[in-house]
Amino acid sequence: MVVAERKPMEEILTMVADFKKILLTGCKGCVTVCNAGGQKEVGILASALKIARKKEDREIEIDEITLERQCDPEYIDQLEKPIATNHYDAVLSMACSVGPQYIAKRFEDVLVFPVLNTTFIGGSLEHGVWAEFCQACGSCVIHNFGSICPITRCAKSLMNGPCGGSSRGKCEINPETDCAWHLIYDRMKRLGRLDKLSTVVMYKDWTTNRDGGPRKIVREDLKL
């Protein structure tokens, strides 16, 4: 899933400093699962903002809506009525950054702000802990590396690691970060496939990565 985290309160308060009435929108997709921007977090943030502004003696009115998803135009359409009737100063999105961009596209005259920092594609390691597993390079090769992604999980995206900074299974950039290449080595050894690591892996084609420009998938079989 897309993992995100809420921006610091200070930053959000600065964003809304000039506003008296805003719409705060959540998303029931990934950001609900990673406890960053679902219905619950929308409620918590709305209360926190109201309290902070009350302290400043400048109360703020906040409406809350959590959509099924913010990455589908059909759900964004559901904001039409509240936006048309309430004249918000701004709309804040607690979705990944697709959400605020969709809202801005749909409502051309509305100011839209992102409340989350969209952080990575990853999964949970334990309750309250998430880690990055995929960089969306668009051409998956993890099967060559013991099903561990070197592009994402090696700090230097080495295709022929580990580098000289691998120490006791940890990466030189952070003693808490596993060396992906040590993990790859261990797993390939367990699988009896170490020979696969003895040949040089040649250049990665980055055209499927973001380096090829903003990406798009067209599925003719699904188009209406």
Out of 8, 206, 210, 212, the only residue in the binding site for another protein (CB under 8 A) is 206
Place of tokens 């902070």: 52
Note whether 198 binds another protein by CB under 8 A. yes
Note whether 192 binds another protein by CB under 8 A. no
Note whether 125 binds another protein by CB under 8 A. no
Note whether 165 binds another protein by CB under 8 A. yes
Provide the minimum distance between the beta carbon of 97 and another protein in the complex, in angstroms, as a whole number.
Answer: 18
Nearer to another protein, 139 or 167 (CB): 167
CA dist 114 → 48, 51, 56, 218 (Å): 17, 20, 23, 27
Nearer to another protein, 80 or 186 (CB): 186
Note whether 142 binds another protein by CB under 8 A. no
Note whether 146 binds another protein by CB under 8 A. no
Note whether 114 binds another protein by CB under 8 A. no
Out of 128, 164, 213, 214, the only residue in the binding site for another protein (CB under 8 A) is 164
Provide the minimum distance between the beta carbon of 208 and another protein in the complex, in angstroms, as a whole number.
Answer: 14
Nearer to another protein, 79 or 179 (CB): 179
Note whether 139 binds another protein by CB under 8 A. no
What sign for the dihedral angle of Cα 117, 120, 122, 127?
Answer: negative
Q: Which amino acid is at 66?
A: T
User: Kind of pairing, strands 90-93 and 21-27?
Assistant: parallel
Q: How far is the first Cα of the chain from the last one, in angstroms, to the nearest whole number?
A: 27
CA torsion angle 183 184 188 190 (round to 10): 10
Note whether 212 binds another protein by CB under 8 A. no
What angle (nearest 5°) sits at the alpha carbon of residue 196, between those of residues 175 and 131? 30
Place of tokens 């599925």: 219
- Tell me if 93 sits within 8 A of 67, measured CB to CB: no
Provide the minimum distance between the beta carbon of 186 and another protein in the complex, in angstroms, as a whole number.
Answer: 8
Note whether 199 binds another protein by CB under 8 A. yes
Distance CA 210, CA 221 (A): 25
Name the site residues for another protein (rule: CB under 8 A). Answer: 155-169, 172-173, 179, 182, 185-186, 194, 197-204, 206
